[in-house]
Structure 1
Amino acid sequence: MRTFSAIAGSAAFFIAAPGVVAGLVPWLLTDRWRLPWSRLPGLVPIGGLLIVAAVAVLLHAFARFALEGLGTPAPVAPTEKLVIGGIYRHVRNPMYIAVLSIILGQALLFLSWTLAAYAVIAAAVMTSFVRFYEEPTLARRYGSEYETYRRAVPGWLPRLTPWRG
């Protein structure tokens, strides 16, 4: 039953957080995606590929929280175990990176400076949240296990080889 609750909670949080930040807000900022497609050759497929790849990473990261951690990414329903498998062996913040990549992909798709500026603002908010709330909270909750993981796996630029801690 715990796994089902973790999956349901993660699905709800997926809609509430990345769904709003990378979906609803860009949709509203682009007048319901009515901006013209980019007229620069190559940006439309690059933007589309970035979005597709980022959505795949985001879904993988959410699944890790539910299945490996038996919890959700939501601060109100955290995982029972520290999530360090899968994509988390390469980078500590794949969800944030994926959400920012989705926004940037849309900025390329529509050649929207508004979305590019929004991505910069979202990145500042996310990095502040990680630095001042998430990292201290994880350190308190998981102690030395998190500290070992934090020292070995970068937060924002993925390592090429997976951490085998």
Structure 2
Amino acid sequence: MKKLLYHLKRYIFTTISKRKIKSHGKNINVNFYSKFNNNTVLGNNCNFNGLVISGNGNVTIGNNFHSGKDIKFITQNHNYNGDKIPYDETYITKDIIIEDNVWIGSHVIILGGVHIKEGAIIQAGSVVVKDVEYCGIAGGSPAEVFTYRDKSKYEELKRKERFH
């Protein structure tokens, strides 16, 4: 019974999410409540366990994306250089790009203007304020790359199409 309920919830969350986003590839799984904006583009084999995108910025997520729970993408901010203090009625909007084969741990915040490159991993609890390099493993607040995947092994697995 538990498994049936899980699959039913996943079906409902996935169906609702697909109606909201701009476009998506094949095999999209939204396992827990997630909120996407109208400017979201998803690749193939994307798995979400609770992601909220706020703002109107463009969000592009590549193939084979996996996330933990409670992820926040913030693509819009108040304009602090406007006509009022501390900010005015206008917004600063920045895009987020996540390339293929990226894994984001639970409780991560990603700010607009960030580009996470292919094969990267973001440690749970991180706040990502700048780009993350190819196969970089980043963590902290603000997130910094502290090591890298074994790039030759990564390329071999990719060539053999060994995707989860």
- Give the helix-richer structure, 1 or 2: 1
TM-score, normalised to structure 1, is: 0.28
Taking CA–CA contacts closer than 8 Å with sequence separation of 6 or more, which of the two structures ends up with the larger relative contact order? 1
